[in-house]
Structure 1
Amino acid sequence: MAAGTRGRMTKRTVTRSVPRGPRGDRLALLGVYLNDHLAGATFGTQLARRLAKNPVDAASGDTLRTLATEITADRAALLRLMKDLGIRARGYKAGAGWAAEKIGRLKRNRRLLSRSPLSPLLELEALRLGVAGKAAGWRTLRELAETDARLDAARLDDLLGRADRQAETLEQLRVRQAAESFRTA
Structure 2
Amino acid sequence: MHTLETQGTRPDLLGIYLNDHLAGATAGVERARYLAESEQDSALAAAVRPLAGEIAQDRASLLEIMRRLDVPVRRYKVVVGHLAEKAGRLKSNGRLIRRSPLTPLVELELLRTGVTGKAAVWEVLRRLAAQDRRLDTGELDGLLDRAHDQLRTLERLHTQQSRQTFAATADRPHRQEAPE
TM-score interval for Structure 1 and Structure 2 normalised by the shorter chain: 0.7 to 0.9
Letter in 1 for 2:69: L
**Matched residue pairs, number?**
165
Task: List alignment gaps of at least 5 residues for structure 2.
Answer: 172-180
Q: Does 1:113 align with 2:101?
A: no
For structure 1, list consecutive stretches of 5 or more residues without a partner in the other structure.
1-20
Contact 1:56 1:120 in 2 (8 A): no
Which structure would you say has the larger Rg? 1
| Equivalent in 58, 83, 102 of residue 99 of structure 1 | 83
User: Whole-Å Cα distance in 2 between the matches of residues 83 and 22 of structure 1?
Assistant: 18
**What per-residue deviation string (whole Å, max 9, x for no partner) do you get for residues 14-57 of structure 1?**
xxxxxxx8878700100000000001000100000001112342
Contact 1:109–1:118 at 8 Å: present in 2 too?
Answer: yes
Output the TM-score relative to the length of structure 2: 0.88
Aligned to 1:130: 114
d(CA) in 2 for partners of 1:103, 1:97:
10
Q: Tell me the SS of whatever aligns to 2:10.
A: helix
SS in 1 for 2:71: coil
Tell which has more relative contact order, 1 or 2 (C-alpha 8 A, sep 6+). 2
| TM-align CA RMSD | 1.5
Cα displacement string for residues 48-70 of structure 1 (whole angstroms, at most 9, x for unaligned residues):
00011123422222221100000
Segments ≥4 residues shifted beyond 4 Å: 21-25
1:78-103 CA-to-partner distances (Å, cap 9, x unmatched) read 00000000000111101101100100
What's the TM-score once normalised by structure 1's chain length?
0.86
Distance 1:56 1:172 in 2: 18
Query: What are the Cα deviations for residues 132-169 of structure 1, in whole angstroms up to 9, with x where unaligned?
Result: 00000000000000110000000000000000000000
